[in-house]
Amino acid sequence: MPLATTEDILEDLAFFDDWEERYKYIIDLGKGLPAMSERLHTPERLVKGCQSSVWIDVGRDDDLLLFLVDSDAFIVRGLLALVMAAYSGKTAAEIVAFDISSYFQQLDLERHLSPTRGNGLKAIVARIQTIAKAVVAAA
């Protein structure tokens, strides 16, 4: 199953009247993420600053960055799916240029996440941005 796009997610979330339904949808998105092998759950891939354990691995297909992500928490896997819709399968330059803050505002996420989850989400985005900026700088 292909990952949802940011447009798909924004459109789908607009159908739900309350945040309990939106959370269920986000959790379901996380269940659709490709599985990450346990052998990739290494300290180098672990994102610091997250309440839950989050791992990020990156591969390449020509100029595209392909991320594989995992978490030990269902809601965080869902949040990772939201981030992957914005970033995975894009070039490093597209990742750096993408306005993630605007995307999160459109999702109305920050008002509905605990401060620790919000900080974890920022740490995830920062890690991916760092990877993309390193690729751009090396080009």
The pLDDT tens digits for 28-81 are 999 999 999 999 999 999 999 888 999 999 999 999 999 999 999 999 999 999
CATH class of 6-138: alpha beta
Report pTM.
0.93
Q: Any idea where the domains of the chain sit in the sequence? A: 6-138
N- to C-terminal Cα separation, the chain: 32
**Inter-residue contact 36 to 68 (CB < 8 Å):** yes
Active site residue 119: no
Q: Which entry of 26, 33, 50, 84 is annotated as an active-site residue? A: 50
